[in-house]
Amino acid sequence: MEYKGFPTAAEQHREAAEGANMPRALLYGLVAGAIGAAIWFAIVVLTERELGLVAVIIGALVGTGVLMGSGNKRNVRLQLLSVSLTLAAMAGAEYFIIRHFVVEYLVEQGSATASQIPMFLPLDVAWDFVVSTIQDDPLTLLFWGIAVWTAFRVPAPAKVSAVPAPAARPVPPA
């Protein structure tokens, strides 16, 4: 229903939520997550510090990628996709960060060369790396939370609030 030729807030909200291109949202989110994870990895390796601002950037990148891929639609499914991809990007980045420092340590000790250690370890070993990192440094979990919250907010549906109609002007007494 239109009001004076303009769609109502409920119609605008419905239009913004329906018809999201989920496959393209997934693809854009995956690419954004890979870019964000690479940025996180590079910064941690170069500075040897985890910076919370980078976590915000990863969440924003993934959320924006999902939003753009969906055709600028906003709904709960896109929020869940954005959160899932952000968690995957953070876990992947964390794995490669830990792997980098483990390889560096083993090379320094003379135990192995970098080429002897496979890039991708079995999934259970990789998962143990990530979990042990979080257990050793709980602040990492805070950074993950920041990234997830940011990713959740970007494709969130707009809040619709009813705007009261202007009051009728009083009719002057005749």
Please state, in angstroms and as integers, the Cα–Cα distance from residue 97 to each residue in 31, 35, 141, following that order. Answer: 19, 15, 15
3 occurs within a structural domain: no
What's the whole-number mean pLDDT along residues 68-91?
95
| pLDDT digit string, tens, across residues 92-141 | 999 999 889 888 888 888 887 777 878 888 888 889 988 988 888 888 88
- Enter the tokens of residue 128: 């143990």
Query: CA angle, 129 as apex, 151 and 59 as ends, to 5°?
Result: 10
Q: pLDDT higher for 3 or 122?
A: 122
163 against 77, higher pLDDT:
77
pLDDT, residue 109, reads: 87
Residue at 166 is within a domain: no
Domain assignment of residue 112, given as a range: 20-153
Cross-strand bridge partners of residue 6 = 3
- What does pTM read for this prediction? 0.79
pLDDT score at 136: 87
The domain total for the chain is 1
DSSP-derived secondary structure for 86-144: HHHHHHHHHHHHHHHHHHHHHHHHTS--GGGS-SS--HHHHHHHHHHHHHH-THHHHHH
Model confidence pLDDT, tens digit, residues 29-78: 999 999 999 999 999 999 988 887 888 899 999 999 999 999 999 999 99
Hey, is 70 helix, strand or coil?
coil
Residue 106 lies inside a defined structural domain of this protein:
yes
Could you report how far apart the first and last alpha carbons of the chain are, in Å? 36
Type and span of the H or E element at 2: strand 2-3
